[in-house]
Amino acid sequence: MTDPIRFLMCSPNHYEVDYVINPWMEGNIHKSSHDRAVEQWHKLHYILKDRALVDLVDPQPGWPDMVFTANAGLVLGKNVVLSRFLHKERQGEEPYFKQWFEQQGYTVYELPKDLPFEGAGDALLDREGRWLWAGYGFRSELDSHPYLAKWLDIEVVSLRLTDERFYHLDTCFCPLAGGYLLYYPPAFDSYSNRLIEMRVTPEKRIAIEEADAVNFACNAVNIDHVVVMNKASDNLKARLTEAGFEIVETPLMEFMKAGGAAKCLTLRVTEPVRTEIHANQPVESRVIRMDGHLLDAGIISRALDLIVENGGSFQILNFNLGEQRQSTSSAEVKVSTPSHEQMEEIMTQLIDLGAVAPPQEVCDINLEAVTQDGVAPDDFYVTTIYPTEVRVNCQWVKVQNQRMDGAIVVFHTSEEPIAQCKLLRDLKVGDRVITGVEGIRTVRKAESREQRNAQEFSFMGSGVSSERRVELVVEQIAWELRQLRDRGGRVVVTAGPVVIHTGGSQHLARLIREGYVQGLLGGNAIAVHDIEQSMMGTSLGVDMKRGVPVRGGHRHHLKVINTIRRCGSIAAAVEQGVLTKGVMYECVKNNVPFALAGSIRDDGPLPDTEMDLIKAQADYAKLLEGTDMILMLSTMLHSIGVGNMTPAGVKMVCVDINPSVVTKLSDRGSIESIGVVTDVGLFLSLLVQQLDKLTGPYRKSA
């Protein structure tokens, strides 16, 4: 004979809605009727007493939520993990519950201070005793789950709650006898839903609708085939009946005003242990360290947000706040996730924010050898635009050739270890590639607030300017271009054919002639249309002076392609006096190198257009070496290509009439890129005007 089922309840003598700690309590302060609450509680008590034993704990004045005994702790066998309430409004209940458990002969486990866990409100045993479902996200911390696993020696499946109305697991999740599960899927994130679906077969999952969920249908007490709840729709009743359950409804409206119903008002204190079941808790934890302007640059909030958004939880172990304006802060944060994959995902993003494992902890990165040319090991670390350092022999080694979307290869030369970014296609068998995320950090410039403000660029930082701001931005860019030219800096332009169509060609030609541009990147089209305009006065057949299509103009671009092909190259056309002006002409005349990358839609192409894309990428990369600033003028395709090859720290100006293109290009998460939404021809003409102003005689500004 099995032991009788026992519940713990607490009579509602002192029950009241006195404060707001969940959304249900909002607007309900002092709105519950004492008499009705007492009556409803007694009905529930009566129903349960009929089917099980009910113990009582003495209610205490001043602790109105003590009626919700589900939150006393979590019982398994003779062990109980006592709750640590998140809100001070309920913390005073803890000693009374502890006393009751001790008097009954339970072994009471207590979690570390400041590690919230709200008992059986957030931890529900599979009714077959196979594992423990544990919730986190609102009241209980994920970090409490490994303690449950250890102390109760049971596997814990962590589920993340995401809807604040369903702040405790038992408000939206109810394991039933026979392996059935009554639950409200939208209350969980998709990862948790996947976990549930992996454990409970479709026939056993009874997913309820919102209307039932807000009636606390999941907050049910299950005793064998009986399910006691506040209320169920006909549809839900039918489904439960079909699954062999008998539903007992009992109104609990007065308690719902505090955010609880049947299940919350009870705690099952007899939970048999299955001796063959043991702990196996996948929760992973790591400590990271962050340094810098964590607060005023918003880094710490971004870091914590991304941890939570990706299903993890955190604990700030220490935070040294830089007190002066210039001083930096540092923080150590413990990150926990319910699975290894989530940890890797979160760590990758944290590394991008500059986080690092405390140096004393990791001495070496993980390396795995390449076994097939051009293919990295599965778990390879994907590089970003940020300067990166990796841990080799307990030392930080700077990664060379930084660019995004590569792998990091580590060589051990006789003197020093070398780390290098490599593209997948350049990997060779035997190369040792970094895998995982351990021992990697990205280095953010921790410049002081003053420095940051002194940089002309940063005030426009990563914003997208349109209309009114364009002139202001152009003024800044002109200033920057002039500075770069004077100190021998390097500016590369990537341009699309729109530059020519919008009348920007003469301006771009001038920038090249006057030494503001050190390299030009584009495709076949920019060169074709520039040459068409220089030789025939049209761009794609449109007369550039009158703005109207010219008769037979659509053939113009093919004519010029043919002409250049006859000459042999653009440079040869210039030498032979065939090409006498325009952007390409100025490049040749002023020894400004250019690279034209081909594409599937190219006509011709021009002899200079590189149709081997791998070679074209290499040509681009070569011209980009040592670049200080890139002007991206109305070409999404080539600009994205360029962006991928460029490490952080290079200033980027993206100009396009289409805001979404600008956002896409300037959204590299680096402060050095700015976007300008405007007509590119107009932009270039303003830019040239501004440069003229800087070159002209000094005039006091009005």
Residues forming contacts to ligand ARG in the complex (CB under 6 A) are 21-22, 65, 68, 70-71, 90, 121, 168, 170-171, 258-260, 264
Report in angstroms how near the CB of residue 23 gets to ligand ARG at its nearest: 10
- CA dihedral (298, 304, 307, 310) in degrees, to 10, reads -70
Report the distance separating Cα 545 and Cα 141, nearest Å: 69
Residue pair 376/337 in contact (Cβ under 8 Å)? The answer is no
**DSSP sequence for 372-410:** BTTB--TTBPPP-SS-EEEEETTEEEEEES--SS-EEEE
In the complex with ligand ARG, the residue whose CB is nearer, 101 or 380, is 101
Find the farthest-apart pair of alpha carbons in the chain and give their distance in angstroms, rounded.
106
Q: Give me the least distance between CB of 70 and ligand ARG, in Å please.
A: 4
- Nearest approach in angstroms of CB 201 to ligand ARG is 27
> For residue 495, what are the CA distances in angstroms to 524, 633, 684?
11, 5, 12
Residue closer to ligand ARG (CB basis): 21 or 161: 21
**Distance (Å) of CA 528 to CA 185, 521, 583, 587, 617:** 57, 13, 11, 14, 20
> What does the buried/exposed string (b/e) look like for 178-190 if buried means 16 or more CB atoms within 10 Å of the residue's CB?
ebbbbbbbebbbe
Q: Minimum distance between the CB of residue 88 and ligand ARG, rounded to whole angstroms? A: 12
Nearer to ligand ARG, 85 or 106 (CB): 85
Structure tokens at 477: 């860019």
The pair of structure tokens assigned to 198 is 């992996």
Burial class (CB in 10 A: 0-12, 13-18, 19+), 612: exposed
Which of residues 164 and 612 has its CB atom nearest to ligand ARG in the complex? 164
The minimum distance between CB 230 and ligand ARG, in angstroms, equals 13
Rounded least distance, CB 170 to ligand ARG, Å: 5
CB atoms within 10 A of CB 110: 16
Residue 301's CB is within 10 A of a number of other CB atoms, namely 11
User: Of the candidates 101, 113, 92, which has an alpha carbon nearest to the alpha carbon of residue 73?
Assistant: 101
How far apart are CB 307 and ligand ARG at their closest, in Å? 24
Strand partners, 609: 596
Tell me the closest approach of the beta carbon of residue 168 to ligand ARG, in angstroms: 4
Shortest spacing between CB 164 and ligand ARG, in angstroms: 11
Cβ proximity to ligand ARG: between 171 and 383 the closer is 171
117 half-sphere exposure, CB direction, 13 A CA radius: 25
Judged by CB, which is closer to ligand ARG: 259, or 582? 259
> CB of 215 within 8 A of CB of 260?
no
| Residues whose CB is less than 8 angstroms from the CB of residue 413 and which lie 6 or more positions away in sequence, other chains included | none
3 state SS of 497: coil
Dihedral of CA 298/301/302/303: which sign? positive
Of residues 262 and 437, the one with the C-beta less far from ligand ARG? 262
> Helices in 590-679 by DSSP H: which ranges?
613-624, 636-645, 659-666
Q: Cα-Cα-Cα-Cα dihedral of 391, 394, 396, 398, to 10°? A: -60
The residue among 38 and 550 lying less far from ligand ARG, judged by its C-beta, is 38
Q: Which of 590, 565, 591 is nearest to 578 (CA)?
A: 565
Q: Which is nearer to ligand ARG, 271 or 480 (CB)?
A: 271
The nearer residue to ligand ARG, 93 or 431, going by C-beta atoms, is: 93
* Distance in Å, CB of 260 to ligand ARG, minimum: 3
How far apart (Å, rounded) are the C-alpha atoms in residues 370 and 381? 13
Q: Which of 519, 517, 514 is nearest to 694 (CA)?
A: 514
Q: What are the phi and psi torsion angles at 3 (to 5°)? A: -65, 150
Cis peptide before 605 (omega within 30 of 0): yes
User: How near is the Cβ of 175 to ligand ARG at its closest, in Å?
Assistant: 14
Closest distance to ligand ARG from the beta carbon of 139 (Å): 7
Look at residues 242, 76, 226 and name the one whose alpha carbon lies nearest to residue 155: 76
CB of 121 to ligand ARG, least distance (A): 3
Tell me which H or E stretch contains 481. Answer: helix 468-486
Q: What are phi and psi of 274, to 5 degrees?
A: -95, 115
CB nearer ligand ARG, residue 91 or residue 685: 91
Distance CA 314, CA 332 (A): 10
Q: What does DSSP assign to residue 460?
A: G
Q: Are 479 and 456 in contact (CB under 8 A)?
A: yes
Enumerate the active-site residues: 168, 264
Task: List, in order, residues 6 or more apart from 1 with CB less than 8 Å away.
Answer: none
Neighbouring C-alpha atoms within 13 Å toward the C-beta of 396: 13
Nearer to ligand ARG, 171 or 442 (CB): 171
Residue closer to ligand ARG by CB (options 48, 385) is 48
User: What is the number of the residue whose Cβ is closest to ligand ARG?
Assistant: 121
